[in-house]
Amino acid sequence: MFYKHHVFFCLNQRDGDERPCCAARGAEAMQKHAKSRVKELGLAVPGGVRINKAGCLDRCELGPVVVVYPEAVWYTYVDASDIDEIVESHLRDGQVVERLLLEPQ
């Protein structure tokens, strides 16, 4: 396995569409914050955590969204403190952040 956790942030930008998009909700800044936080905690090492950008993850109405693999855990978030909680609780400590989980569709 290349990474213990592979994390994808939806950064999709919709122009002229009535459907919401993650990019309009600050997803790029939060992806950068997560990447920085993972590095600060020493998790961005071979076999550790990889933070990536993704196109549309098709959960627009529930966004912004991030998905953590290999567990396929889907989260939403509001701000940097939510991202910190996902990084520290899930990625570092192995505990899913229940309050930020997306509802199954």
Domain range list for the chain? 5-100
Pick the residue with more confidence: 33 or 58?
A: 33
Burial of 53 (0-12, 13-18, 19+ CB in 10 A): middle
The single residue listed with the structure tokens 């990474």 is: 3
The pLDDT assigned to 60 comes to: 80
User: Chain-wide mean pLDDT for the chain?
Assistant: 93
pLDDT at 26: 92
| The amino acid at 32 | K
pTM over 0.75: yes
pLDDT score at 83 = 98
Compute, in degrees rounded to 10, the torsion defined by CA atoms 31, 35, 36, 38.
Answer: 130
Mean pLDDT of 51-55: 96
- pLDDT digits over 91-103, tens only? 999 999 999 999 7
CATH of domain 5-100: 3.40.30.10
